[in-house]
């Protein structure tokens, strides 16, 4: 009889076929910084990413970091472990006052992504652009969701554009993002509004979510008869009495 395959067997086979050791996730978060020297923002993030990628990691961190005069946008890809380690390092540095970040919000977490947008970690300075219309601070849930979708759409379009470039074309666009693709860069008014949205979580919530396992009741443990994969099928059988 053919051996029954478990879900774990299927997951291992899929990861092996994709050439991965674990699942990939994508994290997008924004923040407001008060660094006096703009270059200090990038230097801090470069060091943090290098520490994680140069040490043991199942999947390295890749992504795009855009920094403005007062804000930043970070689209990061990696495993659950490396993303969690990055956020922990970031929060530790904020708590000890090493870095000057006054507010952060998680914009998107995509689990089990098919492929990376970026093959390395890239950082670039960008100039602020103004929205054509003012955002009302009293925007309802539907309007906020539309603005959130607009924000994510800009970053995804930018990532797809960069993926299609040759090596020389990629470098040219990255060095002149504000001039060549201003329509794909999130505006500062949009980021300021999203930082004020109460139902968007900060990275601290995400770290605590990664650190705790949810309690679930497995249906097969509540069914009778119990599955033979977990309980011996002949546990209630008795051996025949020996004959003289």
Peptide bond into 225 cis (omega under 30): yes
In this predicted structure, what is the pLDDT of residue 176? 93
pLDDT higher than 60, residue 60: yes
In this predicted structure, what is the pLDDT of residue 51? 92
Distance CA 32, CA 70 (A): 6
Distance CA 24, CA 81 (A): 10
Q: Which two tokens stand for residue 180?
A: 């060549």
pLDDT digits (tens, 9 = 90+) for 5-19: 787 787 777 777 777
pLDDT band at 212 (very low <50, low <70, confident <90, very high): low
Q: What is the mean pLDDT of residues 91-108?
A: 88
Helix (H, G, I), strand (E, B) or coil at 108: strand
pLDDT higher than 60, residue 33: yes
Q: What is the mean pLDDT of residues 24-36?
A: 90
- Domains belonging to the chain, first-starting first, are 20-209 (3.30.70.100)
pLDDT digits (tens, 9 = 90+) for 63-87: 999 999 889 999 999 999 999 999 9
> What is the average pLDDT value for the chain, to the nearest integer?
85
Give per-residue burial for 115-126: e unless 16+ CB within 10 Å, then b.
ebbbeebebebb
Counting residues of the chain whose pLDDT is more than 70, the rounded percentage is 84
Flag the least confident range among 108-122, 127-141, 157-171: 127-141
Q: What is the mean pLDDT of residues 146-160?
A: 95
pLDDT band at 243 (very low <50, low <70, confident <90, very high): low
Distance CA 234, CA 74 (A): 56
pLDDT band at 244 (very low <50, low <70, confident <90, very high): low
Distance CA 72, CA 188 (A): 9
3-state helix, strand, coil in the chain (%, to 5): 45, 15, 40
pLDDT band at 231 (very low <50, low <70, confident <90, very high): low
> Closest Cα partner for 107 from 193, 44, 174?
193
In this predicted structure, what is the pLDDT of residue 86? 94
């Amino acid at each position: 009889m053919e051996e029954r395959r478990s879900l774990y067997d299927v997951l291992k086979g899929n990861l092996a076929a994709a050439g991965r050791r674990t699942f990939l996730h994508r994290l997008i978060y924004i923040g407001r910084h008060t660094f006096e020297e703009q270059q200090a923002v990038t230097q801090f993030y470069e060091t943090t990413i290098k520490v994680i990628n140069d040490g043991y990691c199942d999947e390295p961190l890749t992504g795009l970091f855009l920094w403005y005069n007062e804000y930043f946008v970070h689209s990061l890809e990696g495993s659950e472990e490396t993303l969690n380690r990055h956020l922990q390092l970031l929060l530790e540095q904020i708590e000890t006052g090493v870095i000057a970040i006054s507010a952060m919000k998680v914009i998107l977490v995509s689990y089990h992504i098919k492929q990376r947008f970026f093959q390395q970690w890239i950082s670039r300075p960008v100039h602020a652009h103004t929205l054509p219309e003012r955002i009302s601070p009293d925007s309802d849930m539907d309007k906020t969701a539309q603005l959130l979708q607009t924000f994510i759409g800009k970053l995804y379009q930018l990532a797809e554009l960069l993926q299609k470039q040759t090596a020389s074309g990629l470098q040219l666009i990255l060095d002149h993002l504000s001039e060549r693709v201003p329509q794909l860069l999130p505006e500062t008014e949009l980021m300021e509004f999203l930082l004020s949205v109460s139902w968007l979580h900060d990275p601290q919530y995400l770290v605590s979510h990664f650190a705790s396992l949810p309690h679930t009741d497995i249906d097969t443990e509540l069914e009778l008869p119990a599955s033979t994969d977990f309980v011996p099928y002949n546990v209630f059988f008795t051996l025949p009495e020996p004959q003289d």
